[in-house]
Amino acid sequence: MKKVAVIGGGFAGLTAAAELASAGAKVTLFEKSPTLGGKAQVVTADGVTLDTGPTLLTLPDVVRGVFARIHASDLLPKFTRLSLQARYSWADGRTFDCHEALDATAKSAEQFGAKESAGIRSFYAEAEKTFRAAGEPYLEAPFEGMPEFLARVFKKQGATGLINGMQLSTLDSLAKRHFHSPQLRQFANRFATYAGASPYRATAAFALIPHIERALGVHHVEGGMGALVTALARALERLGVVLRLGETATWVEKKSELIAGPPGGESPFDAVVVNADPFSNEPLGTRPLAMSGYVALLQTTRRLPLAHHHVVFGNDYVREFDELFSGQVPSDPTIYFCHPAATDASMAPEGRSGVFAMVNAPAMRTSGEVEAWSEHARVLREKCIATLKKVVPVDDVQFIAERTPVDLAQRGAPGGSIYGFLPHGKFGPFERPKIRSSTRGVFFAGGSTHPGGGVPMVMLSGHFAATLALKEVTFGGPS
């Protein structure tokens, strides 16, 4: 029986550990925190339950596939598919509703101009072409290099797919081709933030995200993302994975042997999967990092007429990203609200609501920025509460808890960056740290590695890491 160490218990580490154990490996998972889930933690107060990390699920079949492979489909929480995927609003009082049904989305866009309905249709059509040409090949196998990736593109799309991929510009340029109104350009540009990037510097390939959401749905996990963590933890126990919580483990290669574990408790393993950011041990300021975020958890004493996902845009998106990537907290930030009780009554007592509020924030570049976050948090907390009161008629908003870049950094995120690697530039997504490390038998998994951030993506990363590790320890060499 092959012995494998998994260092880190986020979604990628949990997935890798489960798939390795299901395939017959003897797996030990080390997690430095007392709880599993990584950034996907949960806060419960007065009966209100709120996630502190990811709040929506796309690509549900990726998650279902993981649970099927580990024979744990019976543990999987219920997914609810949202017909109204998100509501967007601006200071002038106008709102735009993004539905799963394209006709309804196009109808909502008409208020911004006679041509915007057609713009919605053409935008989603191009987003689908981008997904077919680049997204599918990117997600179907570990990225081991451009030649293998281009071969997959050519197999699916031929020379046309290769040419179209080379012609991709920025996401903002794509938005300008399809929309005349600044509001709908903001809507399209927002999808770069799913990778912690700026739409003015990130590739238009990120348009595949809205296509995925429309085609495959935006889903809520019953009980929140914490329920998905719990389900994976139960699966690990069923599979006999040894869980060592509260232990900070490292790995090292000694005379061609892999040694992993906490100081003084190391032991040899045949392979190691590291669910940690590859940049976490680098000094701050060594490289540009994807954005961080500030989160405020709020509750109200009445059930709010608030959509499950609601985004309130700032007035100047260009300035907002200029500030973010120059290290400043945005002066007029876009705020994302998640109101899970709109879909799932179990998330809050009857007649009450819990609200997750998030503001994009810069990753920290120096240790001196840590102290500044006490004041930044106070300002952003007040802005989140004031904005919520403008969006819905509510006077009583109570603060529960918050998460800042400092908290993320304490969990191992470099500079508090949620996604670590910053995928700016036309080929940015392909420059991510690879899953296979330069050390034989060691593999990385998580949001900074291929294929990127988001729950299904990091679970796919864990699946790829487990697949590569199993091939290497079974057959004695790279797959």
Q: What is the pLDDT of residue 472?
A: 87
Tokens of 447: 């949001």
Domain ranges of the chain: 3-40+226-278+433-475, 105-214, 285-416
Tokens of 182: 């600044």
Q: What is the pLDDT of residue 146?
A: 83
CA–CA distance, 104 with 49 (Å, rounded to integer): 31
Q: What is the pLDDT of residue 153?
A: 79
DSSP three-state, residue 370: helix
Among 248, 273, 251, which Cα is nearest to 262's? Answer: 248
Q: What is the pLDDT of residue 162?
A: 56
CA–CA distance, 233 with 230 (Å, rounded to integer): 5
| 288 prior amide bond cis, ω within 30 | no
Tokens of 362: 């810069």
Domain 3-40+226-278+433-475: give its CATH superfamily.
FAD/NAD(P)-binding domain (3.50.50.60)
CA–CA distance, 315 with 91 (Å, rounded to integer): 7
CA–CA distance, 207 with 88 (Å, rounded to integer): 17
pLDDT in tens, the chain (479 residues): 799 999 999 999 999 999 999 999 999 999 999 999 999 999 999 999 999 999 999 999 999 999 999 999 999 999 999 999 999 999 999 999 999 999 999 999 999 999 999 999 999 999 998 898 888 888 888 888 888 887 887 777 776 665 565 557 899 999 999 999 999 999 999 999 999 999 999 999 999 999 999 999 999 999 999 999 999 999 999 999 999 999 999 999 998 899 999 999 999 999 999 999 888 877 877 889 999 999 999 999 999 999 999 999 999 999 999 999 999 999 999 999 999 999 999 999 999 999 999 999 999 998 889 999 999 999 999 999 999 999 998 989 999 999 999 999 998 899 999 999 999 998 888 899 999 999 999 999 999 999 999 999 999 999 999 999 999 887 555 44
Among 265, 298, 293, which Cα is nearest to 388's? Answer: 298
List of residues 6+ apart from 396 with CB closer than 8 A: 300, 301, 302
CA–CA distance, 229 with 464 (Å, rounded to integer): 19
Strands 3-7 and 271-274: parallel
CA–CA distance, 212 with 314 (Å, rounded to integer): 25
Indicate the DSSP class of residue 356.
E
Among 215, 235, 146, which Cα is nearest to 430's? Answer: 146
CA–CA distance, 25 with 147 (Å, rounded to integer): 32
CA–CA distance, 200 with 203 (Å, rounded to integer): 8
Cβ pair 469, 441 in contact under 8 A: yes
What is the residue-wise DSSP string for 302-334? S-----SEEEE--S-HHHHHHHHTTTPPPSS--
Angle between the N-to-C axes of helices 171-178 and 116-130, in degrees from 0 to 180, rounded to the nearest 10: 140
Q: What is the pLDDT of residue 479?
A: 43
Where residue 401 falls (left for φ over 0; alpha for ψ -120 to 50; beta otherwise) is: beta
Q: What is the pLDDT of residue 465?
A: 97
Cβ pair 183, 92 in contact under 8 A: no
Q: What is the pLDDT of residue 236?
A: 98
CA–CA distance, 282 with 262 (Å, rounded to integer): 20
Q: Which sign, positive or negative, has the C-alpha torsion 337, 60, 349, 378?
A: negative
Tokens of 442: 């060691």
Cβ pair 383, 377 in contact under 8 A: no
Q: What is the pLDDT of residue 447?
A: 92
What is the residue-wise DSSP string for 224-279? -HHHHHHHHHHHHHHHTPEEEET---EEEEETTEEEEESTT--EEESEEEE-S-TT
Neighbour-count burial of 126, counting CB atoms closer than 10 A to its CB (0-12 exposed, 13-18 middle, 19+ buried):
middle
**Residues facing 269 on adjacent strands:** 258
CA–CA distance, 220 with 213 (Å, rounded to integer): 12
Q: What is the pLDDT of residue 412?
A: 87
What is the residue-wise DSSP string for 117-186? HHHHHHHHHHHHHHIIIIIHHHHSS----HHHHHHHHHHHHHHHHHHHHHT--BHHHHHHHH--SHHHHH
Rounded to the nearest 10 degrees, how much is the dihedral formed by the CA atoms of 412, 415, 417, 419?
-60
What is the residue-wise DSSP string for 390-415? HHSS-S-EEEEEEE-HHHHHHTT-GG
Number of H helices, E strands in the chain: 14, 19
Q: What is the pLDDT of residue 163?
A: 55
Indicate the DSSP class of residue 363.
P
